[in-house]
A and B are shown apart, each in its own frame.
Chain A
Amino acid sequence: MFEITIGSLLDFIVNNSTFILCMIGYHIFYSVIAILAATVIGIGFGVLAVKVRKLSFIIYIADLMQSAPDIVVLALMIPILGIGAICALSALFIKGILPILVNTFVGIKIINKDVIDSARGMGMGKLQILFKVEFPLALPIILAGLRTASVIAVSTLTLASYIGVDGLGVLILRGIAMYEGNILIVGSFLTALLAVCTNYSIGYLEKTATKWKR
């Protein structure tokens, strides 16, 4: 495993560039699908939970479930959905929806009642208030939830390679199985890079979305 040099790493990358790019592509593709679904349903249910008092308990449960380890959620999906992409996407969806759900709820809940009152006083209907006042004000917090969810998605998808899902995890697992340091390092480094980039890019989105605050 220790026969790693810059040369051998570059050798591996150049010789397998198509494969590596494919795996990166799969990884991003699966993560995006899961997070997109989680965002749509998460924000939808989050808003619902704020407006309908009785549904608030969902948030309490979601908050409790957030501490469930990634691998456990994935492993518990396997008896139900078998191994493969569907199972992985479901696990990503479940893990990703929790931060978005909770943050949407919290983001809208903490809006100052006076702001809503003045909007109502200006003659805005409920839907208008939702889209023109509540969403923009809650956006920073919702985006923070989105950021958390995305990083968790990238991270959990790496694990899913153990059950046959294509992605950067394949490089890591193959490197460990073949005791080949080059594949391992390239896989790990690219995964780390992807996660950090996802974190920073959505973080940047967060900052631009809150420009109006300054």
Chain B
Amino acid sequence: MVEFFKYLLENRGFLLGLTLQHLSLSVFSVLAATAVGVPAGVLVARFKKLAPIILNFVSITYTIPSLAMFGLLLPIVGTGNIPALIALFLYSLLTIVRNTHAGITNVDPAIIEAAKGMGMTSRQILFKIEFPLALAVIFAGIRTAIVINIGITTIAAFIGAGGLGRLVFRGIYTVETKVILAGSLPVFFLATVLDYIGRKIEQRFSR
């Protein structure tokens, strides 16, 4: 126990660097997925015919185990942060697309009728009514995606990405419990804390 805290203290710079790498990988991929996923979700909500194709593709991508996804990406893009970012991007897509779709389709039709009655165009309805009302659900998707990505980023360390996963694998490989804990516990806390903060922010949105 004491050894563990000593290890943390001695390597706090290294740990901080890894944590920042970890966060960057998770957050940037989610930002990219939001940029693509939210418009995709809107498209799916607008054009019902596209729904099966896009939702199925995104669902299947999400089901693929992370190590398998990395395995498929390695021959194409090599090792390092790039396959990690691509895989993290693909994994966040499902959550964000599905939540955007759900958020927009669950807007009360009566409100949309009223807006049409007031003479709003489709685009105005989208930006002034549907988005603000769906924002809480969309943000829930973003929050979930970030939390899931934090977990997957840990695995990405195995194929050369940065992040706390490096400590986890190093700990397993060298049979050092304190190193495993030094890698896993921050990941666990990151995931839990970001989840909690995300939920608090969501509550602000749904007022």
- A interface, CB within 8 angstroms of B: 1-2, 4, 64, 67-72, 75-76, 78-79, 83, 151, 154-155, 158-159, 162-163, 168-169, 172, 175-176, 181, 184-185, 187-189, 191-192, 195-196, 199
What are 6 A-B interface contacts by the 8 Å CB criterion?
A2-B75, A68-B192, A75-B180, A181-B75, A185-B72, A192-B63
Main secondary structure of the interface of A (DSSP, over half): helix
Contact of B155 among A71, A76, A151, A181 (CB under 8 A): A71
Q: Is the CB of A195 within 8 A of B168?
A: no
CB neighbours (8 Å) of A70 from chain B are 151, 155
Contact of B63 among A4, A75, A151, A163 (CB under 8 A): A151
Q: How many residues of chain B have a CB within 8 Å of chain A?
A: 38
CB neighbours (8 Å) of A75 from chain B are 168, 171-172, 180, 183-184
**B71 contacts the other chain (Cβ, under 8 Å)?**
yes
Q: Is the CB of B75 within 8 A of A192?
A: no
User: Which residue of the partner chain A has the closest CB to B151?
Assistant: A69
Q: Is the CB of A155 within 8 A of B187?
A: no
- B interface, CB within 8 angstroms of A: 59-60, 63-72, 74-75, 147-148, 150-152, 154-155, 158-159, 165, 168-169, 171-172, 177, 180-181, 183-184, 187-188, 191-192, 195
User: If the complex has contacts A67-B195, A151-B63, A155-B66, are A192 and B172 also in contact, measured as CB distance less than 8 A?
Assistant: no
Q: Is the CB of A191 within 8 A of B188?
A: no
Chain B min CB distance to A147 (Å): 10
Q: Give Cα distance in the complex from A211 to B76, angstroms.
A: 43
User: Which residue of the partner chain A has the closest CB to B177?
Assistant: A79
